[in-house]
A and B are shown apart, each in its own frame.
Chain A
Amino acid sequence: MPTLTIDGVEITVEPGSTVLQACEQAGVEIPRFCYHDRLSIAGNCRMCLVEMEKSPKPIASCAMPAGDGMVIRTDTPAVKKAREGVMEFLLINHPLDCPICDQGGECDLQDQAMTYGRFFSRFSEGKRAVKNKDVGPLIKTIMTRCIHCTRCVRFGDEIAGVEEFGAVHRGEHMEIGTYVAQAVTSELSGNMIDLCPVGALTSKPHAFVARSWELVKTETVDVLDAVGSNIRVDSRGREVIRVLPRLHEAINEEWLSDKSRFGCDGLKRRRLDRCYVRRDGKLAAAAWAAAFAAIAERIRGLAGERIAAIVGDLVDGEAMVALKDLMARLGSPHLDCRQDGAKLEAGSRAGYLFNSTIAGIEAADAILLVGTNPRWEAALVNARIRKRWRRGGLAVGVVGPQADLTYAYDYLGAGPQTLAEIAEGRHPFGAVLKAANLPMLVLGMGALARPDGAAVLARARQIAAATDMVADGWNGFNVLHLAAARVGGLDLGLVPGSGGRDVDGILAGAEAGEIEAVYLLGADEIDTVRLAKAFVIYQGHHGDAGAQCADVILPGAAYTEKNATYVNLEGRAQRARRASFPLGEAREDWRILRALSERLGHALPYDTLDQVRARMIEIAPTMQQLDHVEPAPWGGFGVAGEMSAAPFEGAVRNFYLTDPITRASETMAQCSELFVDAKGEKTGTDG
Chain B
Amino acid sequence: MSAGANGGGGAKPGGFTFSPENLDKSKAIIAKYPNGYQASAVLPLLDLAQRQNGGWVSREAMQYVAELLDMAPIRVYEVGTFYTMLNLEPVGKYLVQLCRTTPCWLCGCGDIRAACEQTLGIHVGETTADGLFSLVVVECLGACVNAPVVQINDDYYEDLDANGIKAILEALKRGEAPAPGSQTGRQTSAPASGPTTLHGPGGA
Contacts and interface: CB of A to CB of B under 8 A. Distances in A.
Interface of A: 156, 161-170, 178-180, 182, 185-186, 402-411, 683-684
Given A180-B59, A683-B7, 13 more contacts: A161-B8, A163-B8, A163-B75, A164-B8, A168-B78, A179-B59, A179-B74, A179-B77, A180-B10, A182-B10, A404-B7, A409-B3, A411-B2
B98 to A, nearest CB: 20
A135 to B, nearest CB: 12
B167 to A, nearest CB: 35
Contacts of B197: none
A170 B81 contact: yes
Contacts of A170: 81-82
A313 B5 CA distance: 32
Interface of B: 1-10, 59, 72-75, 77-78, 81-82
A166 B9 contact: no
A161 B8 CA distance: 8
A409 B10 contact: no
B72 A404 contact: no
A379 to B, nearest CB: 15
A180 B73 contact: yes
Nearest to B6: A163
7 contacts: A163-B8, A166-B77, A166-B78, A178-B74, A408-B4, A409-B2, A411-B2
A180 B73 CA distance: 9
A161 B3 CA distance: 13
A168 B78 CA distance: 5
B138 to A, nearest CB: 14
A179 B5 contact: no
A684 B2 CA distance: 14
Contacts of A404: 3, 7
A169 B7 CA distance: 23
Most chain A CB inside 10 Å of its own CB: which residue of B1, B7, B59:
B7
Contact of B81 (A179, A407, A684): A179
Contacts of B3: 402-405, 408-409, 411
Nearest to A173: B81
Contacts of B10: 180, 182
B5 A166 contact: no
Contacts of B74: 163-166, 168, 178-179
A166 B1 contact: no
B8 A162 contact: yes
Given A163-B72, A180-B10, A408 B5 contact: yes
Contacts of B7: 162, 404, 406, 683-684
Given A180-B73, A185-B8, A167 B1 contact: no
B23 to A, nearest CB: 24
Nearest to B83: A170
Contacts of A168: 74, 77-78, 81-82
Contacts of A406: 5, 7
Nearest to B82: A170
A407 B77 contact: no
A173 to B, nearest CB: 8
Nearest to A168: B81
B124 to A, nearest CB: 18
Contacts of B1: 410-411
A186 to B, nearest CB: 8
Contacts of A185: 8
B137 to A, nearest CB: 16
Contacts of A402: 3
Contacts of A684: 7
Contacts of A161: 5, 8
B79 to A, nearest CB: 9
A655 to B, nearest CB: 16
Contact of A683 (B9, B75, B78, B81): B9
Nearest to A186: B8
B186 to A, nearest CB: 35
A167 B80 CA distance: 11
Contacts of B72: 163-164
A179 B82 CA distance: 12
A408 B59 CA distance: 27
Contact of B78 (A167, A186, A411): A167
Contact of B75 (A166, A180, A405): A166
Contacts of A178: 74
A95 B77 CA distance: 27
Contacts of A156: 8
A169 B77 CA distance: 9
Nearest to A396: B2
A162 B7 CA distance: 7
A169 B73 contact: no
Given A164-B74, A179-B74, A180-B59, A407 B5 contact: yes
A182 B187 CA distance: 53
A156 B7 CA distance: 12
A411 B1 CA distance: 6
A158 B146 CA distance: 48
Nearest to B9: A683
A165 B9 CA distance: 11
Pairs of residues from A and B, 9 with the lowest C-beta to C-beta distance, nearest first: A163-B72, A166-B74, A162-B8, A404-B7, A179-B77, A168-B81, A166-B78, A683-B7, A169-B81
B8 A410 contact: no
Contacts of A180: 10, 59, 73, 77
Nearest to A167: B78
Nearest to A162: B8
A162 B72 CA distance: 9
A170 B82 CA distance: 5
A340 to B, nearest CB: 27
A159 to B, nearest CB: 13
Contacts of B75: 163, 166
Nearest to A411: B1
A215 B182 CA distance: 72
A683 B8 CA distance: 7
Contacts of A179: 59, 73-74, 77-78, 81
A403 B5 CA distance: 11
A684 B8 CA distance: 10
Contacts of A410: 1-2
B82 A169 contact: yes
A78 to B, nearest CB: 33
Nearest to A681: B10
Given A169-B82, A178-B74, A180-B73, A408 B8 contact: no
